[in-house]
């Protein structure tokens, strides 16, 4: 899997914006579409995406979301390559 992103400054913080994604397998594509695995912070009311990693999201009934960065596809085992593109 390959993920490309660009970094933007928002106030004094970095915001990481997804540019392109290439999937390694159909299972990863499905997990991405279902938002089980995705790039960056779990979407909430915040404008800032403060994570530049591919994460698995674990959601709890209380509304708490845990992000766990991954480096390899949990389905096919291929390496996840995350790279920054310059504008």
Q: How is residue 26 annotated by DSSP?
A: H
Average pLDDT over all residues of the chain: 90
Contact yes or no for 60/66 (Cβ under 8 A): yes
Which tens digit of pLDDT belongs to each residue from 19-38? 999 999 999 999 999 989 99
pLDDT at 46: 63
Residue 1 has pLDDT above 90, yes or no: yes
**This prediction's pTM:** 0.83
End-to-end CA distance of the chain: 22
pLDDT at 19: 95
Instruction: Name residue, tokens 């490309």.
Output: 4
Classify residue 68 by burial, with Cβ atoms within 10 Å: 0-12, 13-18, 19+.
exposed
Q: How is residue 71 annotated by DSSP?
A: S
What is the pLDDT confidence band of residue 4, given thresholds at 50, 70 and 90? very high
């Amino acid at each position: 899997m390959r993920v490309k992103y660009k970094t933007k400054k928002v106030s004094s913080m970095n915001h990481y914006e997804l540019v392109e994604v290439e999937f390694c397998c159909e299972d990863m594509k499905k997990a991405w579409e279902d938002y089980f695995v995705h790039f960056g912070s779990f979407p909430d009311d915040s404008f800032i995406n403060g994570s530049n990693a591919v994460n698995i999201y674990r959601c709890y009934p209380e509304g708490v979301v845990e992000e766990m960065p991954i480096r390899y596809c949990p389905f096919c085992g291929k390496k996840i390559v995350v790279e920054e593109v310059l504008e």
